[in-house]
Amino acid sequence: MQNLVAVVVNLPKQSEKQILYYKFPEKMVDILKIGCRVLVPVGNALREGYVVDFPETSEIKKLKEIAQILEDKPLIPEELMKLALWISKSYLSPIHKVIEQIIPPAMRIEPDRWVRLLENNELSISLSVLDVRVANILSSLENGPVKLNSLLRKYGGDINSSLQDLKQRGLIEIFLDFKTKETNSSVTIIEKIVKKEEYDNVLKELKRAPIQLKILNILDTVGQIEQQKLLKEYSLNLSSINALEKKGYIRKHKLKKERTPELNEEFLNHKKLTLNDSQQNAVSLITKAINENQLETFLLHGVTGSGKTEVYLRSIINAVNQGKGALLLVPEISLTHQTIGRFKGVLGQQVVVLHSGLSEGERLDAWNALRSGNAKVAIGVRSAVFAPVQNLGIIIIDEEHESTYKQTEPDPRYHTRDVAIERIRNLNGVLILGSATPSIETYYNAKQNNYTLIELAQRVKANPLPKVEVVDLKNELESGNKSIFSRVLHQSISDTLAKGEQVILFMNRRGYSTFVLCRECGESLMCKNCSISLTYHFVNSEMRCHYCNYRASVPTKCPHCGSKYIRYFGSGTQQVEVELIKAFPGIKVTRMDVDTTTRKNSHQELLAEFSKGETQVLLGTQMIAKGLDFPNVTLVGVIAADTSLNLPDFRAGEKTFQLITQVAGRTGRGDKIGKVIVQTYNPEHYAIIHAKNHDYKSFYEKEIEQRQIIGYPPFNSLVRIIINGHEEDIVMNLAEKIGLDLKNISKDKIEIFGPAPAPLAKIQNRFRWQIILKANSLDFLRKVAWHEYKKYVNLKEYNQLRIIIDIEPQSIL
């Protein structure tokens, strides 16, 4: 019987051929495992692939053989490969796209073409009579293989014919070599090696070389030191160091450097906290499940400030003490710093971090530390759900309701919560979903006893939840106040600053003005690539699109009618900052939005300056609305609660309730009483009323009633099909064809909305049409959506279009 292996190979545009079959030689029997990375022949080329199975038979009779195993042990653990196959099937995504999420960028391989001499001692032509350039090429290869690109750079791009001639004569071979991008970071360490009895003589000898003498004295004090640090801190030069090495007085050696992201000391927290009764009960229930290897999903529903993080920490400590690994997920990079500081303060080097703000080297070192078992705990954002934690026993998803846990672009469009449920189910472990405002679907599952509900109804210090005051902005306008700040909020900011306390202001739009409009013709300034208005940015004095980053100068005349009467409408974080400084001269403001957090470590630098009291006001978008804990914050202001309420989305009310409740929870977390002011044009909306009262259960009852009436999740499932392309008529044509097909296929089993232009009908010069499918069987929706995808994806007339299938979308924009 043949040794057969199934291998995932990236074959673009061939969705039916994700897995290919090969045979492998007997010598690989004990080495080849599921998760191994291999080179396999596809056509006339070698391609990277990953082993997913060892089938007993294959319908293909003449199978090619695996060319090479690239690592000495599986790169992807078997349990993660099993998870990848599940994600591919569940989210209709190519498996290689899932694997790209699992493997850090620095571990991906890059093939290089090399040239080498073949063993041939009887050359038919003497080098002396060859063309000079050909002779030079052969001479270059005498010391070993050379990259083809190096030869092309050295001798010119027109040497290909010469190389082919040499290849046909059997003198050279052009071959592919696959190497990973991975690079090990190392530092040069310097140490003194002068014997004690010789030291006085050496000092005398170096009297005429004062810099060398200085180096020796430094090393005598500090022992060994990094060369770069020695050069930088003591303003020295490399030639003096090299001279000492040549004399035999110092020694250099390389030391592997672990690339660990910096953590500001402000966030390191070693405090030992005492659990209250509710926390202790939660930890006991979770620990029991961990100790008994019991598959369990808990919903930890705790009001803001109820100590959920401490419950997470104690649960993870118990898991680690049982020899198990742990994974803690947070929705935003900005939330990682305080969380990491708390966990590192207790667990030290057992904790590593995974998020997009790290360098490739830092991500690689963290990934390798987990894969080797040197680290036991990973903290990260969405993609960290794929972290190769050894003997994983517990996954925690903090702020589980956040929409950032759903990947929207690119494939796979997975939901972290559902991936975590499947991963922990395969491992028979424990999953904790934590939130003060659980998603409607999660709370419904807890009420149906699919999850175990644990309630933390009180704040840790038994402080009352902050009082929330709702301000009707319609009344402010009627009274003549056209400011961003209502009179109540203005006075409250003034009072808070006078007491030396801090303020958080939440505005879920960046930029200065949200749109610019001509008062004569009524036209707003639109992005040329997207069907969305441009946002005015005061700092750079430019108009910018937040979808494609198109930028334009601020016009002096309307581009539509030529009028000079242009007006700025709406507010963004930049305008709030300008108005704030104008209203309260001399105050210092920390603004956090996408524009201010692009640099590495910018998140924690900004939060650290606020934490240390260097600034009085923290102003930002939703990245400041949750998870942060600053005891001196006693006032939170929500500048415009209607931003999320007016979205064309059935989850608009839910998102609004969650945002207000979460940002309100940032105040009154210390010994001082907190206060919240919410500005809105819709004070009577049930989401705002229940957020004001900190009443999640009443909000849930109202929302779940409406969901049941209209048949939206959790009572039915949704699948969104998006077709986009540069030619709107072709996009519309395909959308209408798919819509007609679905109506014929479904036979009343599904509801179909569309085809119609998406709410954002054009992004990055691509027109977007969508069809939304609704039914009580997600499997059936997958089946019909996949049928349509396969039918049209490879047709020539639609080869410039993209067909996207989004399973259980979190947004329909």
- Write out the binding residues for Zn(2+): 518, 521, 527, 530, 545, 548, 558, 561
Question: Quick check: 567 and 496 in contact, CB under 8 A?
Answer: no
User: Which of 668, 768, 789 minimizes the C-alpha distance to 722?
Assistant: 768
Residue ranges of the binding site: 518, 521, 527, 530, 545, 548, 558, 561
In angstroms, the CA 662 to CA 691 distance is 9
For every residue of 103-151, DSSP letters joined together read S-GGGSEEEEEEEEE-S-S--SS-GGGS-HHHHHHHHHTTTS-EEHHHH
- Whether omega before 755 lies within 30 degrees of 0, making that bond cis, reads yes
What is the rounded (10 degree) CA torsion for 403, 405, 410, 412? -130
Q: How far apart are CA 558 and CA 675, in angstroms?
A: 43
Cα–Cα distance measured from residue 587 to residue 605, given in angstroms and rounded to the nearest whole number: 19
DSSP three-state, residue 735? helix
CB atoms within 10 A of CB 744: 8
Show the CA angle centred on residue 733, arms to residues 730 and 734, nearest 5°. Answer: 90
Sheet containing 766-775, strands listed edge to edge, beginning at the edge strand earlier in sequence: 751-763, 766-775, 717-725, 802-807
Residue type, 72: D
Q: Distance from CA of residue 619 to its chain's centroid?
A: 23
Unique residue bearing structure tokens 């590495």? 600
Tokens for 69, please give them. Answer: 């195993």
Peptide bond into 683 cis (omega under 30): no
Instruction: Report how far residue 609's alpha carbon sits from residue 623's, in angstroms, rounded to the nearest whole number.
Output: 16
Partners of 770 in the beta sheet? 722, 756
The answer to whether the Cα torsion of 494, 496, 497, 498 is positive or negative is positive
Describe the crossing of helices 160-168 and 132-140 by its angle, rounded to 10 degrees: 70
